[in-house]
């Protein structure tokens, strides 16, 4: 089955640094990727939708300058948390969908970010 | 390799009847399971969860059953309502999240 990986799986960083999280679709071409943030025991919050070759579409309330998304190829999307602060600590999860079949999404395992 | 599988991509049920959504997993170390509901153009919303120490958790019309020996999870919705029409994702947690690919439920009025 389709597999989506994320790297790193967990990262600890100091406040003020930037962290890049990669999301890769390993065996299919993902025209659309989604980035979510997961708070403990709460719903996944959709942060942005990333389409290959175009700018990401951010959800209301998500700072595009803080959460930089790049979808440079059909198998890779990156999320960069710039100038991270402790309140950015969370699970970040990506998912990938196939063009025309976005009802089926393949989720990555998540990246646990802890900002000290 | 998919560690959490939802083998039915879609399901149609008459209003008032029971909807049963299934989920299978491979890793016996998972200790927490969740179901999410997703409407189009929205992020998944948390629906119900169950710890591995339990075999059933009920919340209103939603009940999740866990069969650890079979590594099987199911979500029962009864009675089903048209507003339940959505995509349902199951997820397992054991240091990381593992999501199924979703089952699209259509409740027919």
Q: Does B22 touch chain A (CB under 8 A)?
A: no
| Interchain CB distance below 8 Å, A44 and B102 | no
CA dist., res. B23 & res. B100, Å (int):
7
pLDDT, averaged per 10 consecutive residues of chain B (109 residues), comes to: 85 98 94 87 79 95 97 97 95 80 93
CB atoms within 10 A of CB B50: 20
pLDDT score of B8? 92
Contact (CB, 8 A) for A91 and A111: yes
Q: What is the pLDDT of residue A60?
A: 85
Q: Please tell me the predicted confidence (pLDDT) of residue A22.
A: 96
**Angle made by CA atoms A23, A105, A54, in degrees to the nearest 5:** 55
Q: Do A103 and B104 touch (CB under 8 A)?
A: yes
CA distance A29 to A70: 15
Instruction: Quote the CA–CA distance of B85 and A106 in Å, as a whole number.
Output: 20
- Residue A82: count of CB within 10 angstroms of its CB: 15
**What does the pLDDT read at residue B41?**
63
Tell whether B46 is within 8 A of chain A (Cβ): yes
Report d(CA A97, CA A95) in Å as an integer. Answer: 7
């Amino acid at each position: 089955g389709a597999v989506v990986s994320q790297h790193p799986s967990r990262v600890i960083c100091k406040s003020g640094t930037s962290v890049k999280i990669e999301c890769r679709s390993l065996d299919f071409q993902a025209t659309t990727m989604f980035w979510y943030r997961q708070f403990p025991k709460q719903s996944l919050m959709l942060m942005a939708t990333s389409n290959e070759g175009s700018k990401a579409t951010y959800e209301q309330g998500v700072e595009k300058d803080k959460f930089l998304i790049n979808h440079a190829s059909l198998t890779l999307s990156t999320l960069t948390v710039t100038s991270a602060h402790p309140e950015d600590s969370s699970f970040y999860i990506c998912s990938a969908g196939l063009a025309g079949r976005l009802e089926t999404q393949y989720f990555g395992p998540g990246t646990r970010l802890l900002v000290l | 390799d998919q560690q959490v599988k939802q083998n039915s991509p879609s399901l149609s049920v008459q209003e008032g009847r029971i909807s049963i959504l299934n989920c299978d997993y491979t890793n016996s170390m998972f200790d927490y399971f969740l179901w999410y509901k997703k409407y189009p153009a929205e992020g998944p919303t948390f629906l119900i969860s169950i710890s591995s120490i339990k075999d059933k958790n009920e919340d209103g019309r939603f009940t999740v059953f866990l069969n650890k020996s079979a590594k099987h999870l199911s979500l029962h919705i009864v009675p089903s309502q048209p507003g339940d029409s959505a995509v349902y994702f199951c997820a397992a947690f054991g240091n990381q999240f593992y999501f199924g690919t979703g089952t699209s439920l259509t409740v027919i009025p």
